Structure 1
Amino acid sequence: MSPRRLVVVFESPTAEAMLRLGIDAGFQTVLVEPDESRLQGTPRAHGDRVVHDLAAAGLDESTDVVLSDHHRAEIGVLLQEALAAPTRWIGILGKPTIEGPHVGMLRELGVPDDQIARVHRPIGLNIGARTPAEIAIATLAGLIADRNDRPGGFSF
């Protein structure tokens, strides 16, 4: 089996927590931050890689891609690229009560609705997560449950 890879797109406190915890959960972790200026002075989680585009992240069928910011202008183009790769799973953080801006961005790029539907939102288990660490834990737990074909939560 190929190594599990977690690619987190966009530097953020939640991204830092996902990368740090992802290593302990057995993922090879990669941060993709297209804007190098956002990395200045940022402490790096031990063991992960930092690249500036998805092509350098090594997307394959063992890769889970998580966008940790839903307000960046690059979202549409990056999701379009992730959808074109053989990724296992793609998701973006965001409130479940409103349609994410990624939907309109992808439609403007001509991405078909069935492909847009592959982008999970919200992501993670529904544990009422609020802090970056809680969001990271919920997301990683959801990815592990999905990868293991389990419903998550307390259903066995």
Structure 2
Amino acid sequence: MSERVLVAVFATPVASFLLRYGKDLGYTPVLFEPDGARATDVENGFDVVSTVPELGPDADVVVTDHNRLELGEALKAVLERPSRWVGVLGNPRHAGPHVVALQALNVPEAQIARVHRPVGLNIGSRTPPEIAVATLAGLLADRNDRPGGFEFQQSGAGLTP
């Protein structure tokens, strides 16, 4: 079995928890932050890179900020690698801005379709630690070929990002 790698794209509070908890789950955690000045926003102890690392078929990538100007370029670079899974955090009630950003960069529709959104299990998560737990639980369910409760339905309750 090859090494499981978890790449969090962009330094955010969610990325910090995602990488910390991911390490506990057996992932090698890596932060991909194109803006080196922002990398300090995530606690130390993880590999931090400013360009997309080499990603193999056992790498899972989670984009933790869908509002960054670099979203399209960063995601395009990730999609050029043979990662196992790529997802973008965001509210499922709103269209994902990554689609327009990737289309503007002439990324083929088949590549855009590789991007999962929403990500994580629908547990009503709201805080960065909860979002990280929901995301990692979803990745584990997917890796283990389990349904994991990904369905998002409109209700009075909140939706998982």
**TM-score under structure 2 normalisation?**
0.88
Counterpart residue number, 1:5:
5
Counterpart residue number, 1:85:
81
Residue 99 of structure 1 and its aligned partner are, at CA, apart by 0.8
Residue 101 of structure 1 and its aligned partner are, at CA, apart by 0.9
Q: Distance in 1 between matches of 2:43 and 2:115?
A: 29
Identity %: 55
Counterpart residue number, 1:24:
24
SS of aligned partner of 1:69: coil
Residues 105/42 of structure 1: CA separation in 2 closer, same or farther (3 Å cut): closer
Counterpart residue number, 2:135:
139
Residue 98 of structure 1 and its aligned partner are, at CA, apart by 1.0
**Contact 2:15–2:42 (CA under 8 A) maintained in structure 1:** no
Q: Distance in 2 between matches of 1:83 and 1:20?
A: 24
Structure 2 unaligned runs (5+)? 150-161
SS of aligned partner of 1:29: strand
Counterpart residue number, 1:51:
49
Residue 115 of structure 1 and its aligned partner are, at CA, apart by 1.6
**Contact 2:72–2:102 (CA under 8 A) maintained in structure 1:** yes
Counterpart residue number, 1:35:
35
Q: Distance in 1 between matches of 2:145 and 2:41?
A: 39
Q: Distance in 1 between matches of 2:138 and 2:66?
A: 19
Q: Distance in 1 between matches of 2:6 and 2:54?
A: 10
Residues 42/5 of structure 1: CA separation in 2 closer, same or farther (3 Å cut): closer
Q: 2:90 aligns with which of 62, 71, 94?
A: 94
Stretches of 4+ aligned residues off by more than 2 angstroms? 39-43
Residue 113 of structure 1 and its aligned partner are, at CA, apart by 1.9
Residue 86 of structure 1 and its aligned partner are, at CA, apart by 0.5
1:12-66 per-residue CA deviation (whole Å, 9 max, x = no partner) reads: 100000010000011000001111111347532x4x2111110xx2211010010
**TM-score under structure 1 normalisation?**
0.91
Residues 42/7 of structure 1: CA separation in 2 closer, same or farther (3 Å cut): closer
Aligned length: 149
SS of aligned partner of 2:15: helix
